[in-house]
Amino acid sequence: MIVPPLLRDVLRPHRVTMALILATMLVQIVMTLAAPWPLKIVIDNVIGTHRQFFWINAILSQLGSKAHIAAAAGIGTVLIAVTAGAAMYAGNYLTEGLSQRIGNDLRLRLYQQLQRLSLAYYDANRIGAIVSTLTSDVQTIQGFASVSTLNIFTNTLTVFGIVVVMFLCRWDFTLIALTVVPFLAIFVLRVNRAVRDAVKEVRMQQSDLVATLQEGLQMIQVVQAFGREDHQEQQVRNATTRTMTAWLQARRRSSVISPVIALAVALCTGLVLWRGSLLIMAGVMTIGALTIFLAYLARFFQPVRDLAEMANTFAQVAVSLERVEAVFQADEVIADRPDAKVPPPLRGGITFSHVAFGYRPGVPVLRDVTFTISPGQMVGIVGPTGSGKSTVVSLIPRFRDPDAGQIFIDGVDVRDYRLRGLRSQIGFVLQDTVLLRGSIRSNIAFGRPDATEPEIIRAAELANAHEFISRMPDGYDTVVGDRGSTLSGGQRQRIGIARALIRDNPILVLDEPTAALDAESEHLVIEALERLMEGRTVVTIAHRLSTLRSADKIVVIEDGVVSEEGSHGDLLGRGGTYAQLCRLQFEGRAARDRP
Ligand code: ATP
Ligand code: MG
């Protein structure tokens, strides 16, 4: 059997355990082979007086009387069972340990790979489906890698062992048993292919179901707000029904195997029974010999049946391996160039040079973006919604790479820096702040795990968050819900700002950092940022242009290009898009402020 490379990698560290397990299995096989002998001895040497195998007779003659032989046969049966039991216990224990460790390894490796994959991968794949691979597919592979591979191994060995012993007993009867094997093999392979297709469908439907459930629960508030519970339930109903149908289809295909094997067993047994009784009547064969042969025949078909029924398992594992391998082979990776270097402490000069980028081929978002930010400058990025502002700033820490053009930091293409080093020097406040389930303290310290308590408090103060945190009953120990759900939007955003500030980076990128704040809080946060900006480059996206009043430069992104660039005063004087936006906002505010 060809072991897929992935499986081999996962199994390699466990060679010793596997060898031990194998040893326990060999003991079990030998005991399986020995089990029918006491019965034969009793039938032939105690009840009857046949002398078939001379070496048995030699041993038995040492025992003396028939009563002793009978007792020895009884004790032998028990000893065989005890030995087999002990081996089984050790084997099961080791196998379970192996299985768990393989599962752990694989899950971790997958997670490492998933963390390396860029956002483009997550645009194309549903989180629920990924989770399903991390859980179900890993479980299938873990079960197979340990239990099934060893089962296959022992079953195959057992079959060979039994064939050898059967040959020694009655080669002619053995041939009868063997004639059905090739037909069975062809049949099982045929069925296996069909089962595999069906199982693939099952796994697809299952992960679709998990994704549907996950998405529905994640947006439960929207579902309830819009009264779309029935619709969501229907979605889930459809998904579970499809999963069930796929399962039944797969089961129907694999269920034909057992009856066919049962038929083969009955055919062989019938033939042997018929021939055997004729031979016994002719005095050519002993009753014990026929009994033991029939016992072996039954034992021969058990592993054969197990192997055949593995068709289902094989199919599942093949599909799961394929899915896991697809994650490992995903090429949406922002990789370090081979000669990439660890960036020195950055000064923060950023240059975009003819940058083009699109999320999908043929749909450019940025067509030709060129602008320069000097170290220590504060630059505002402005533009209509959907014009690509968030996209522009996401290219700086290489969340995605441009399709054309280059981005330089301190004169070096960002792709020539090691990714981790580059990102470790950029603080980022994302457009929607997402927090971890955990304490507020741990959420702020997420930006810099070694931050001390005073540093955490200082960052919270700068972000104008300290006050509301202190007012909470548990203060910094307050636990926030998934994604920060138990906080208000403005609170979440201020913690997001504190999380970025605590990193103390030379480059700070803020995507609408104050969108969720009231005018008062915004004012405080902006003031704090302005104080903090000394010696740092700050790139901030803002819809509310008042936040940009002290910006050194404003870059207007429109239709995929930089349409205007200059200081607040310059752009107002030019009377273009920026001036128009300013006028609209000013008029809007004036109208609101009117009594
Ligand atoms: P806003 O002011 O509303 O935040 P923006 O200027 O930040 O808008 P971007 O988020 O950069 O706009 O999006 C620019 C364009 O790219 C939009 O047309 C959007 O539909 C598209 N887009 C954004 N993210 C993705 C994505 N992950 N996959 C595909 N298209 C995307
Ligand atoms: Mg945006």
Distance 566 CA to ligand 1 centre (A): 24
What's 243-290 look like in SS3?
HHHHHHHHHHHHCCHHHHHHHHHHHHHHHHHHHHHHHHHCCCCCHHHH
Is 19 a domain residue? yes
Which residue's alpha carbon is nearest to atom 14 within ligand 1? 388
pTM to 2 decimals? 0.80
Which residue's alpha carbon is nearest to atom 19 within ligand 1? 386
Is 222 a domain residue? yes
pLDDT of the residue at 64: 72
What DSSP state is assigned to residue 334? Answer: -
pLDDT in tens, 503-548: 889 999 999 888 877 888 788 778 777 777 778 899 999 888 878 8
Q: What average pLDDT does the segment 103-108 reach?
A: 92
Distance 449 CA to ligand 1 centre (A): 31
Is 393 a domain residue? no
Q: Which of 360, 387, 509, 577 gets mutated to test ligand 1 (max ligand atoms within 8 A of its CB)?
A: 387
The β-bridge relationship of strands 537-541 and 378-382 is parallel
Say yes or no to pLDDT of 458 above 60: yes
Is residue 380 lining ligand 1, measured as CB closer than 6 Å? Answer: no
Residues paired with 369 in a beta bridge: 355
Distance of CA 44 to the CA centre of its chain: 59
3-state helix, strand, coil in the chain (%, to 5): 65, 10, 20
Distance of CA 159 to the CA centre of its chain: 37
Is 196 a domain residue? yes
Say yes or no to pLDDT of 48 above 90: no
pLDDT of the residue at 374: 93
Question: Which residues does 420 contact at the CB level (< 8 Å), separation at least 6?
Answer: none
Which residue's alpha carbon is nearest to atom 22 within ligand 1? 359
Distance 162 CA to ligand 1 centre (A): 68
Question: Which residues does 123 contact at the CB level (< 8 Å), separation at least 6?
Answer: 359
Share of the chain above pLDDT 90, in %: 38
Is 130 a domain residue? yes
Say yes or no to pLDDT of 130 above 90: yes
Which among 350, 358, 384 is positioned nearest to 556, based on CA atoms?
384
3-state secondary structure of 140: helix
Is residue 389 lining ligand 1, measured as CB closer than 6 Å? Answer: yes
Which residue's alpha carbon is nearest to atom 3 within ligand 1? 385
Range with the lowest mean pLDDT among 2-6, 314-318, 330-334?
A: 2-6
Distance 385 CA to ligand 1 centre (A): 8
Which residue's alpha carbon is nearest to atom 2 within ligand 1? 385
Q: What is the CATH number of the domain that holds 71?
A: 1.20.1560.10
Q: What average pLDDT does the segment 444-468 reach?
A: 90
3-state secondary structure of 509: strand
Q: What average pLDDT does the segment 181-189 reach?
A: 84
Q: Which ligand is nearest to the CA of 392?
A: 1
Distance of CA 558 to the CA centre of its chain: 40
Structural domain containing residue 148: 5-328
C-alpha distance from residue 347 to each of 373, 412, 422, 500 (Å): 11, 12, 12, 18
- Residues 292 and 82: their CA atoms lie apart, in Å, by 21
Q: What average pLDDT does the segment 181-196 reach?
A: 84
Is 162 a domain residue? yes
Is 497 a domain residue? no
CB 130 within 8 A of CB 338: no
- Alpha helices in 330-364, H assignment, sequence order: none
Question: pLDDT class for 191, splitting at 50, 70, 90?
Answer: confident
Which of 44-58, 124-138, 481-495: highest mean pLDDT? 124-138
pLDDT of the residue at 388: 92
Structure tokens at 545: 């242009």
pLDDT in tens, 165-181: 888 878 888 887 788 88
pLDDT in tens, 245-300: 999 998 898 888 888 888 888 888 888 889 889 988 998 888 888 888 888 888 88
Q: How many domains are there within the chain?
A: 1
Q: Which ligand is nearest to the CA of 556?
A: 1
Is 371 a domain residue? no
Q: Work out the mean pLDDT of the chain and round it to a whole number.
A: 87
Share of the chain above pLDDT 70, in %: 96
Please give the number of the atom of ligand 1 that sits closest to the Cα of 431. 4
What DSSP state is assigned to residue 435? Answer: B
pLDDT of the residue at 456: 93
pLDDT of the residue at 390: 93
Is residue 383 lining ligand 1, measured as CB closer than 6 Å? Answer: yes
- Residues 223 and 110: their CA atoms lie apart, in Å, by 32
pLDDT of the residue at 290: 86
Is residue 387 lining ligand 1, measured as CB closer than 6 Å? Answer: yes
pLDDT of the residue at 591: 61
Q: Which ligand is nearest to the CA of 511?
A: 2
C-alpha distance from residue 124 to each of 170, 462, 471 (Å): 62, 38, 42
Q: Which of 119, 391, 393 gets mutated to test ligand 1 (max ligand atoms within 8 A of its CB)?
A: 391
Supply the DSSP string of 160-209, one letter for each residue. HHHHHHHHHH-HHHHHHHHHHHHHHHHHHHHHHHHHHHHHHHHHHHHHHH
pLDDT in tens, 339-370: 989 999 999 899 999 999 999 988 999 999 99
